[in-house]
């Protein structure tokens, strides 16, 4: 049967319209919104990096394999882009411990002062700004610090150093809503954001990190569409609330009780639980100021994202006096333990132990020492998960008296250092090999016991009237730890001659990446921690590396910014922070 010329013309029109529709859809992928399904399944988009810690489970594992053990030594810088955020930051530099987010060839990132950038990264030779949004944070009275941003639908959401939370239109860089969320307390102490926001079930979760400034840590949920606050949960409960009985003082220590949250938590979409670690109690080093276990400090808590109600908690170090806050990453994954399928929370504790908890109930499963030197306790009880010396009958815990300096005590040496083994640094987990990775600092510190004075029965502390605390550190070095979660032991450890303030990212190519403050980006064998490659960018690195791909090509990106190390000086790059991008030759 023949086809008429007219019918042929109609068929060709339909054909070309179909081709146009396919091509249009292919280009339209760059305009896809970051919806709930994409975030829940972020691990299945290895070409992108949609959440600060890779996925809701915060495992920072990439399925990309083009860069691998055999060729990682061929990584070369392909482009770099100067960002702002270095103005008026003082001697220490900005605290922007951040990595970019990547969505289909476009990067989104921020600097220490809260300026947000959208970058077109599709050209393999350079990146170009699509827009720059400066929300106008005053440099007076604020600190240039951030740990990242969040993507949700057509919005880029950022916490700002002045206590605001903003949502920016991802297409044009215009601010959609702007809310003042963190404020001053009754004692004129300023709440602050030291975390990246995370969006779960249409709610922006943000938290107060200024616990060491004598405020109460909290998590707040905002409506992602409007920025309106939906609920707020406080780490330190007020009198009458559950947990308040663990503050046994007579001067309202809860009002300045600390528990700041300064690393983003993880989210379990199935149970709709936000699982996040909390900071140390305040004052930090005088537990006699605040007798009791001091819930919910030094803990991990699971909050219902719809209501803000606490579903379960686990406290690592009750009545802490070493600054062993547990704000660090809590990784969520499923595994088999004793031939039973378990949903777990895994955590490199700042107190020197690697913990596994049940994700449904918060029940303790096991803990193992991962730092080299640890003396504050003889170990962890195999059933309760508490330190072996812990007694629920005591208001002031004793633990190891040789390592715990109480009021009137001279200097005592404790391990690990107050920086912990792993503190806030993003950790990683390879679900195929069942290896967890922590980067951080090892060592010990010495301090005396010093009394902190209360201002009045109504609360607050009087630091001017308090005794002087003296302290020093020793055995101080950086460390990368590979922990075998199946056999519950340290698999390998790499030592660096400088502390690691960055984070870890592991790939299916068998490579673990991290970065150092003196400018080195390093790649390790993910099983042996043998060093495979390193490159120095000439400026301070505190942001964790991330990997992504555009078309067939895999890239590695690292953002600079952080405390400058003295006597090390970076004269050439001191006026800018940078985004560095690497690829294979």
Alpha carbon separation from 38 to 53, 201, 297, 391, 428 (Å, rounded): 15, 12, 33, 46, 20
How far apart, in whole angstroms, are the C-alpha atoms of residue 300 and residue 362? 9
Tokens 């939906």 correspond to 230
How far apart, in whole angstroms, are the C-alpha atoms of residue 200 and residue 257? 28
Phi, psi of 423 (to 5 degrees): -105, -100
Cβ contact 558:578 at 8 Å: no
Q: Using the 8-state DSSP alphabet, how is residue 147 labeled?
A: -
The contacts of residue 455 (CB under 8 Å, 6+ apart) are 461, 462
How far apart, in whole angstroms, are the C-alpha atoms of residue 335 and residue 85? 41
End-to-end CA distance of the chain: 56
Cβ contact 274:261 at 8 Å: no
Task: Taking the CA atoms of 143, 148, 152 and 155 in sequence, report the sign of the dihedral they define.
Answer: positive
On the 0-12 / 13-18 / 19+ scale of CB atoms within 10 A, 124 is middle
Phi, psi of 198 (to 5 degrees): -140, 140
How far apart, in whole angstroms, are the C-alpha atoms of residue 549 and residue 105? 8
- Provide the b/e sequence for 446-459 (b: ≥16 CB within 10 Å): bbbbbebebbeeeb
Q: What is the pLDDT of residue 96?
A: 80
Q: What is the pLDDT of residue 144?
A: 86
pTM over 0.85, yes/no: yes
Give the DSSP per-residue string, 428-462: EEETTTTEEEEEEEEEEEEE---PPEES-TT--EE
Tokens 């600079």 correspond to 560
On the 0-12 / 13-18 / 19+ scale of CB atoms within 10 A, 127 is buried
Cβ contact 461:254 at 8 Å: no
Q: What is the pLDDT of residue 476?
A: 87
Q: What is the pLDDT of residue 89?
A: 63
Report whether the peptide linkage leading into residue 416 is cis, meaning its omega lies within 30 degrees of zero: yes
The contacts of residue 380 (CB under 8 Å, 6+ apart) are 353, 367, 386, 387, 388
How far apart, in whole angstroms, are the C-alpha atoms of residue 225 and residue 232? 18
Phi, psi of 73 (to 5 degrees): -65, -10
Query: Mean pLDDT in each 10-residue stretch from start to end of the chain (585 residues)?
Result: 38 37 39 92 98 98 98 98 75 75 97 95 96 95 91 98 97 98 96 97 97 97 98 98 98 98 97 98 98 98 98 98 97 95 98 98 98 98 98 98 97 95 97 98 96 96 95 92 97 94 97 95 98 94 96 96 50 66 96
Q: Using the 8-state DSSP alphabet, how is residue 89 labeled?
A: -
Residue 466 is encoded by which pair of tokens? 């308090």
Residue 322 is encoded by which pair of tokens? 């070493």
Cβ contact 265:53 at 8 Å: no
Tokens 């990264």 correspond to 121
Q: What is the pLDDT of residue 326?
A: 97
Helix (H) or strand (E) holding 344: strand 340-348
């Amino acid at each position: 049967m023949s086809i008429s010329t007219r019918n042929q013309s109609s068929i060709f029109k339909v054909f070309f319209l179909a081709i146009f529709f396919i091509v249009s859809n292919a280009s339209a992928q760059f305009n896809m919104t970051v919806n709930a399904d994409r975030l829940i399944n972020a691990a299945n988009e290895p070409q992108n990096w949609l959440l600060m810690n890779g996925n809701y489970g915060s495992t920072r594992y990439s399925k990309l394999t083009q860069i691998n053990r055999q060729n990682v030594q061929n990584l070369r810088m392909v482009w770099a882009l100067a960002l702002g955020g270095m103005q008026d930051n003082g001697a220490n530099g900005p605290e922007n411990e951040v990595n970019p987010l990547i969505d289909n060839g476009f990067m989104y990132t921020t600097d220490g002062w809260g300026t947000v950038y959208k970058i077109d990264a599709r050209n393999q030779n350079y990146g170009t700004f699509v827009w720059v949004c400066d929300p106008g944070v005053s440099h007076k009275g604020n600190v240039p610090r951030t740990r990242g941003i969040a993507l949700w639908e057509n919005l880029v959401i950022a916490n700002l150093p002045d206590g605001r939370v903003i949502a920016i239109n991802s297409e044009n860089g215009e601010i959609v809503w702007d809310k003042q969320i963190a404020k001053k307390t009754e004692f004129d102490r300023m709440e602050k954001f030291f975390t990246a926001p995370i969006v779960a079930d249409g709610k922006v979760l943000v938290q107060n990190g200024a616990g060491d400034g004598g405020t109460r840590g909290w998590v707040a949920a905002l409506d992602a569409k409007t920025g309106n606050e939906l609920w707020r949960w406080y780490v330190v409960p007020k009198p009458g609330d559950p947990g308040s009985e663990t503050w046994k003082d007579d001067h309202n220590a809860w009002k300045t009780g600390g528990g700041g949250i300064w690393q983003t938590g993880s989210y379990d979409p199935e149970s709709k639980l936000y699982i996040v670690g909390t900071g140390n109690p305040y004052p930090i080093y005088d537990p006699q100021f605040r007798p009791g276990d001091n819930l919910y400090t030094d803990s991990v808590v699971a909050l219902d994202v719809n209501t803000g109600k606490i579903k379960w908690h686990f406290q690592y170090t009750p009545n802490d006096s070493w600054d062993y806050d547990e704000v660090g990453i809590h990784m969520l994954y499923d595994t088999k333990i004793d031939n039973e399928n378990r949903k777990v929370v895994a955590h490199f504790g700042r107190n020197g132990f690697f913990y596994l908890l049940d994700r449904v109930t918060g029940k303790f499963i096991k803990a193992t020492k991962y730092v080299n030197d640890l003396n504050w306790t003889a170990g962890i009880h195999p059933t309760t998960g508490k330190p072996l010396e812990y007694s629920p009958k005591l208001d002031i815990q004793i633990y190891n008296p040789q390592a715990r300096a109480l009021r009137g005590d001279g200097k005592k040496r404790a391990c690990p250092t107050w920086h912990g083994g792993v503190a806030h640094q993003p950790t990683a987990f390879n679900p195929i090999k069942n290896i967890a990775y922590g980067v951080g600092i090892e060592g010990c510190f010495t301090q005396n016991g010093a009394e902190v004075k209360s201002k009045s029965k109504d609360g607050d502390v009087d630091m001017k009237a308090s005794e002087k605390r003296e302290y020093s550190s020793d055995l101080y070095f950086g460390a990368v730890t590979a922990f075998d979660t199946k056999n519950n032991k340290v698999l390998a450890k790499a030592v660096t001659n400088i502390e690691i303030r960055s984070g870890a990212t592991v790939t299916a190519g068998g490579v673990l990446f991290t970065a150092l403050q003196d400018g080195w980006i390093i790649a390790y064998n993910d099983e042996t921690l043998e060093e495979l490659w390193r490159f120095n960018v000439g400026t301070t690195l505190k942001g964790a590396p991330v990997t992504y791909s555009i078309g067939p090509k895999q890239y590695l990106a690292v953002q600079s910014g952080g405390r400058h190390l003295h006597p090390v000086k970076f004269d050439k790059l001191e006026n800018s922070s940078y985004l560095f991008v690497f690829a294979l030759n």
